[in-house]
């Protein structure tokens, strides 16, 4: 019986990265998982083949041996390395591979009922959940409390979370006879596999609870109060420990991740703890100076604009920014004044402006003055 090349099995190149190998295996495992292909011998073979290839290629030491010596280099390698202790070394190795990839692929909670009720006897942590909420600019600045509803689960009332029908027990897995591992003979050696029927639990749930189909939980809407800390920024995520999906069979709950979306503000934009706004003023205000009303997060304030202010000038209003995350100090507010040139003016205003321009001394306009001088020099 000749074996296929492991790289070929996973459909990756000889130089595939660890991630590429994992991705390829994940795809095949999802496609050929025994629980998705009930009674298909072909799928089972494919699943085993891919799993074996992944076990070797995901382990740098084994992969190196395989690259060097081919199948002969890795067959029964666990038997060798454990130095006469039988399968010892091989087992733990393998458990890690599976724990890792299956929680990655299927999420921890789908392990249970989803797959033949396997591993039903063990406690498992609930899945992490995520949701997102929208908060106002001000709410993000000052912090707030938000009421949210999330679709989660509660312990199944019928079975108390065990996933079993009343009066029934978990049964020993017929495939692995309770060992959680199956063995494949490779010539002289045996290789161990996590049992595909029970996923290593050694037991199966033959009489799943009718209400929850063996999952041990029922869907339920949960209302939660979320404290939004002051200073939170758009795109940040809050982690609410233990507010995720309930654990299985008494295991701890997962966590809830709340993604924060901060609404845009009519006046303000934000950069770290500082806020920015623009205030239009007339050129008369800019020339003569004025006190203008500006918005802040704490309400309106008057800001002095000195005479001769140029357009684009930025004024700092200290301590009117965002509260630093979790702290009491605040950032600043930056106010950019933009001189607005008047449009649609009357005949009378035009006359006034013309008179103004005629009397305007070049020393009042230093930028214009030097510009004109430079232009002259340049073209002479």
The gap between the terminal CA atoms of the chain, to the nearest Å, is 93
**Radius of gyration in angstroms for the set of CA atoms belonging to the chain, rounded to a whole number:** 35
User: How many Å apart are CA 234 and CA 237, to the nearest integer?
Assistant: 9
Among residues 24 and 209, whose Cβ is nearest to Zn ion? 209
Residues 6+ positions from 145 with CB-CB distance below 8 Å: 225, 226, 227, 228
Counting contacts by CB under 5 A, is residue 274 touching Zn ion? no
The minimum distance between CB 189 and Zn ion, in angstroms, equals 21
Counting contacts by CB under 5 A, is residue 173 touching Zn ion? yes
Task: From residue 220, give the alpha-carbon distance in Å to each of 21, 148, 154, 342.
Answer: 38, 14, 6, 61
Task: From residue 162, give the alpha-carbon distance in Å to each of 110, 210, 217, 220.
Answer: 15, 12, 9, 17
Query: Which of 122, 168, 175, 190 forms a contact with Zn ion (CB under 5 A)?
Result: 175
User: What letter does residue 111 receive in the DSSP assignment?
Assistant: G
The minimum distance between CB 176 and Zn ion, in angstroms, equals 3
The minimum distance between CB 18 and Zn ion, in angstroms, equals 28
Q: Binders of Zn ion among 179-208, rule CB under 5 A?
A: 195, 197-198
Pairing of strands 144-155, 217-228: antiparallel
Counting contacts by CB under 5 A, is residue 158 touching Zn ion? yes
Hey, what are 138's tokens? 């001000």
User: What letter does residue 249 receive in the DSSP assignment?
Assistant: T
Among residues 39 and 223, whose Cβ is nearest to Zn ion? 39
Counting contacts by CB under 5 A, is residue 278 touching Zn ion? no
User: How many Å apart are CA 182 and CA 184, to the nearest integer?
Assistant: 7
Counting contacts by CB under 5 A, is residue 211 touching Zn ion? yes
Counting contacts by CB under 5 A, is residue 260 touching Zn ion? no
Among residues 10 and 156, whose Cβ is nearest to Zn ion? 156
Query: How many CB atoms are closer than 10 A to CB 71?
Result: 15
Among residues 110 and 175, whose Cβ is nearest to Zn ion? 175
Query: Which of 24, 176, 232, 260 forms a contact with Zn ion (CB under 5 A)?
Result: 176
Length of the chain: 380
The whole-angstrom distance between residue 88's C-alpha and the CA centroid of its chain comes to 37
Among residues 140 and 170, whose Cβ is nearest to Zn ion? 170
Total of chain residues touching Zn ion, rule CB under 5 A: 12
Counting contacts by CB under 5 A, is residue 212 touching Zn ion? yes
Counting contacts by CB under 5 A, is residue 155 touching Zn ion? no
Among residues 141 and 199, whose Cβ is nearest to Zn ion? 199
Query: How many CB atoms are closer than 10 A to CB 329?
Result: 10
Task: From residue 46, give the alpha-carbon distance in Å to each of 33, 182, 220.
Answer: 9, 16, 38
Among residues 196 and 254, whose Cβ is nearest to Zn ion? 196
The minimum distance between CB 296 and Zn ion, in angstroms, equals 56
Counting contacts by CB under 5 A, is residue 281 touching Zn ion? no
Query: Which of 156, 232, 246, 305 forms a contact with Zn ion (CB under 5 A)?
Result: 156
Classified as helix, coil or strand, 164 is strand
Among residues 59 and 205, whose Cβ is nearest to Zn ion? 205
Which residue stretch of 14-22, 32-40, 101-109, 209-217 sits at the interface with Zn ion (rule: CB under 5 A)? 209-217
Give the footprint of Zn ion on this chain (CB under 5 A). 156, 158-159, 173, 175-176, 195, 197-198, 209, 211-212
């Amino acid at each position: 019986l000749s074996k296929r090349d492991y790289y070929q099995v996973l459909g990756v190149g000889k130089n595939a990265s660890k991630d590429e190998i994992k991705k390829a295996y994940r795809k095949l495992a999802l496609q050929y998982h025994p629980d998705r292909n009930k009674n298909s011998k072909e799928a089972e073979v494919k699943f085993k083949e891919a799993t074996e290839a992944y076990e070797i290629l995901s382990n740098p030491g084994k992969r190196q041996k395989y690259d060097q010596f081919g199948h002969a280099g890795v067959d029964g390698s666990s038997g060798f390395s454990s130095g006469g202790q039988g399968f010892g070394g091989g087992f733990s190795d393998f458990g890690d591979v599976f724990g890792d990839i299956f929680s990655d692929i299927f999420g921890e909670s789908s392990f249970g009922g989803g797959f033949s009720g396997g591993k039903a006897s063990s406690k498992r942590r609930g899945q992490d959940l995520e949701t997102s909420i929208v908060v106002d600019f001000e709410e993000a600045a000052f912090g707030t409390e938000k009421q949210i509803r999330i679709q989660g689960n509660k312990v199944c009332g019928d079975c108390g979370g065990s996933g079993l029908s009343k009066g029934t027990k978990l049964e020993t897995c017929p495939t692995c006879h309770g060992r959680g591992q199956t063995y494949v003979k490779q010539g002289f050696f045996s290789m161990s596999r996590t049992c595909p029927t029970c996923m290593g639990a050694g037991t199966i749930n033959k009489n799943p609870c009718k209400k929850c189909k063996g999952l041990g939980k029922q869907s339920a809407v949960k209302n939660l109060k979320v404290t939004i800390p002051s200073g939170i920024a758009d795109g940040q995520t809050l982690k609410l420990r233990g507010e995720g999906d309930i654990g299985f069979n008494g295991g701890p709950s997962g966590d809830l991740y709340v993604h924060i979306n901060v609404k845009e503000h009519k006046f303000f934009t934000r950069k770290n703890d500082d806020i920015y706004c623009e205030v239009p003023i007339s050129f008369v205000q800019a020339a003569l100076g004025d006190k203008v009303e500006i918005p802040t997060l704490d309400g309106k304030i008057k800001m002095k604009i000195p005479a001769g202010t140029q357009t684009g000038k930025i004024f700092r209003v200290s301590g009117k920014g965002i509260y630093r995350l979790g702290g009491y100090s605040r950032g600043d507010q930056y106010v950019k004044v933009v001189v607005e040139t008047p449009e649609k003016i009357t005949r009378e205003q035009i006359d006034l402006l013309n008179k103004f321009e005629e009397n305007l001394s070049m020393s009042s306009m230093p930028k214009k003055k030097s510009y004109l001088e430079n232009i002259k020099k340049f073209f002479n």
